[in-house]
């Protein structure tokens, strides 16, 4: 049975995202920083249970001040939710080597022949 090296996994995530507990996305040529829902502190995750709307969730992920700036730049709560969903999908697709887990379309075409 192999052992999972969490130190290596966390170091790899930090290298891939630039932070062990945040990820960034761009909007209106600005970079925004969200709390990483996977590695966030347990207390932070518990706070999500109190959120009832997308606006509350988006503000929670970005932080109150950054969310206000984001909205002033033309952002919407739904954009933050989309960024979170995209980030989670990307993390799911990357294996421990940081490579996509799905086969490339070119190799799929070769197999068809």
Tens digits of residue pLDDT in 5-55: 888 888 887 787 677 789 999 999 999 999 999 889 999 999 999 999 999
CB 80 within 8 A of CB 62: yes
- Which residues face 91 on adjacent strands? none
Q: What is the largest CA-CA distance in the chain?
A: 55
pLDDT tens for 53-75 read 999 999 999 999 999 999 999 99
- Reading the block at residue 103, the tokens are 């086969």
Q: Cα 9 to the chain's mean position, in Å?
A: 15
Count other Cβ atoms within 10 Å, centred on residue 1.
2
Residue 36: closest CA among 76, 88, 80? 88
110 pLDDT higher than 90 = no
């Amino acid at each position: 049975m192999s052992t999972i090296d969490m130190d290596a996994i966390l170091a790899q995530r930090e290298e891939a995202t630039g932070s062990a507990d945040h990820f960034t996305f761009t909007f209106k040529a600005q970079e925004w920083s969200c709390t990483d829902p996977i590695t966030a502190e347990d207390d932070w995750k518990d706070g999500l249970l109190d959120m009832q709307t997308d606006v509350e969730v988006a503000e929670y992920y970005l932080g109150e001040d950054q969310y206000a700036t984001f909205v002033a730049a033309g952002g919407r709560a739904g954009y933050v939710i989309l960024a979170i969903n995209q980030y989670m999908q990307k993390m799911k697709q990357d294996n421990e080597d940081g490579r996509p887990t799905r086969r490339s379309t070119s190799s799929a075409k070769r197999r068809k022949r």
